[in-house]
């Protein structure tokens, strides 16, 4: 089954403790992206990757890192999480850039206390 | 800055009626527009897209209209069904970035 898989689905952590949210897709898509979703603000793009070893900042990259060492994986790293990073996170992939249909993961609900 | 506690615009329609959801976009350079549907507890799901060289595109029960002059996008859903109840987002794309609108909550009354 074609899908985007995020792990974990739920995570509660403490301020300052490094964490990684994994994202994997099995559709051989070139483009992958991370978003955060907050009440009343819609989805905001954090980082995106047009292809392996190519990453760029979205609209809200502060406090996040990403890497794209292989095509299928695009982990989101929070080196020192803070409470304002409490949010619902989505990973998405598409065949080639934003002009092709994006497939979203099921989301990761992160709480930083 | 962030606005906390905003309520989503809500559209309530009777089952079987047509729904129209509107969206204003911000970037004149955007050349690709998409509508997504998000059901509770799930990730967004692609509905329909349109490129900037088009004014209208139709899918199954859905139509997207693009007015570049006023930077306005609309999604029309024909014969709305209870399963259409969800939050609908428009998004504009260009380069590698995708910018989402705030979203509209569609509620379908049986």
Task: Mark out the alpha helices in chain A (DSSP H runs).
Answer: none
The reported pLDDT for the residue numbered B7 is 63
B26 vs A82, which has greater pLDDT? A82
Res. B102 pLDDT band, cuts 50 70 90: confident
Q: Do the Cβ atoms of A68 and A74 come closer than 8 Å?
A: yes
CA distance B48 to chain A (A): 9
Residue B29 in contact with partner chain A when CB distance is under 8 A? no
Mean pLDDT, chain A, as a whole number? Answer: 95
Res. A98 pLDDT band, cuts 50 70 90: confident
The reply to whether residue A98 touches residue B45, judged by beta carbons under 8 angstroms, is no
Q: How many CB atoms lie within 10 A of CB A2?
A: 10
Residues B21-62 have pLDDT tens digits of 999 988 888 889 999 999 999 999 999 999 999 999 999 999
- A90 CB burial (10 A radius; 0-12, 13-18, 19+): buried
CA pair distance A99, B92, nearest whole angstrom: 10
pLDDT beyond 90 at A1 = no
pLDDT beyond 90 at A33 = yes
All residues of chain B having their beta carbon less than 8 Å from the beta carbon of residue A45 are 97-100
Mean pLDDT of A30-34: 97
Tell me which chain A residue has its CA closest to the CA of residue B1.
A41
Residue to substitute from A40, A49, A61, A100, interface B, most B β-carbons within 10 A: A40
Mean pLDDT of A54-61: 96
CA distance B101 to chain A (A): 6
Residue A56 in contact with partner chain B when CB distance is under 8 A? yes
pLDDT beyond 60 at B2 = no
- Beta-ladder partners of B20: B76
Over chain B, what HEC string results? CCCCCCCCCEEEEECCCCEEEEEECCCCCCCEEEEEEECCCCCCEEEEEEECCCCEEECCCEEEEEECCCCEEEEEECCCCHHHCEEEEEEEEECCEEEECCCEEEEEEC
The reported pLDDT for the residue numbered B4 is 36
All residues of chain B having their beta carbon less than 8 Å from the beta carbon of residue A43 are 44, 89, 91, 100
Mean pLDDT of A23-28: 97
The reported pLDDT for the residue numbered A11 is 97
């Amino acid at each position: 089954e074609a899908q985007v898989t995020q792990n974990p689905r739920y995570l509660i952590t403490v301020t300052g403790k490094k964490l990684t949210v994994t994202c994997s897709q099995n559709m051989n898509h070139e483009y992958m992206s991370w978003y955060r979703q907050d009440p009343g603000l819609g989805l905001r793009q954090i980082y995106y990757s047009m292809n392996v070893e190519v990453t760029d900042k979205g609209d809200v990259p502060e406090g996040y890192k990403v890497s794209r060492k292989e095509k299928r994986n695009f982990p989101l790293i929070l080196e020192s999480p803070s409470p304002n990073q409490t949010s619902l996170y989505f990973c998405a992939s598409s065949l080639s850039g934003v002009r092709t249909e994006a497939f979203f993961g099921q989301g990761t609900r992160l709480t930083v206390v | 800055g962030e606005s906390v506690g905003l309520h989503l615009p809500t559209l309530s329609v009777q089952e079987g009626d047509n729904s129209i959801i509107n969206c204003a976009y911000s970037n004149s350079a955007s050349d690709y527009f998409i509508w997504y549907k998000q059901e509770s507890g799930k990730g967004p799901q692609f509905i329909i897209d349109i490129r900037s060289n088009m004014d209208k595109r139709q899918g199954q029960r859905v139509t997207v209209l693009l007015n570049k002059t006023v930077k306005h996008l609309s999604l029309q859903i024909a014969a709305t069904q209870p399963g259409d109840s969800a939050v609908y987002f428009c998004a504009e794309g260009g380069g590698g970035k995708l910018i989402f609108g705030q979203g509209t909550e569609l509620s379908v009354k049986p």
